[in-house]
Amino acid sequence: MKLRRLARSFTLLELVLYLGLISVGFAMFATIEVNAQRSVALQQAMIDVQLTSQDYLSEWRRDVEDSAKLELSPERLVIVRRDGHRVTYTAQERQESDAAGALVQSRPFPRATKVTFTRPSPTGPLQAELTVSVRFGWRDTLE
């Protein structure tokens, strides 16, 4: 008995090759898509780091320029402004209180994880080193 193949049918080998090609194409597309999404998330995280740093340091600089007195410790800076208000900077918060000590404004910086204030000499410039941490993706962190 002779087996006849229908003219319009596929052999098992052709079907396996077709499914293999489809799988390879899908895997390539998925890899490209995942890398593109990761790149976009990384770019957004870099923008967030830059904006948070600029925001924190611009307020800090404005307050220092308007200061009458500075009280410095490595992780805390207290600025007494000319109008009598006290501004306290820590890694994650800026608190402003009036001359009587009542809290006027509190501004959080949730992405700032560490700040170090230094002054090399009593008359030298005040320096701040700020670490900002942004989580992107499901496991990656950018500092």
* pLDDT band with cut points at 50, 70 and 90 for residue 7: low
SS3 102: coil
As a whole number of Å, the CA-based R_g of the chain is 30
Rounded Cα distance, 119 and 110, in Å: 25
Per-residue confidence (pLDDT) for residue 109, from 0 to 100: 83
Q: Are 102 and 118 in contact (CB under 8 A)?
A: no
Q: Decide which of 56 and 5 is more confident.
A: 56
Query: Taking the model in full, what pTM does it have?
Result: 0.67
Per-residue confidence (pLDDT) for residue 132, from 0 to 100: 81
Report pLDDT digits (tens) over 121-135. 777 788 878 888 877
Rounded Cα distance, 107 and 94, in Å: 5
Report pLDDT digits (tens) over 85-105. 999 988 888 999 998 888 889
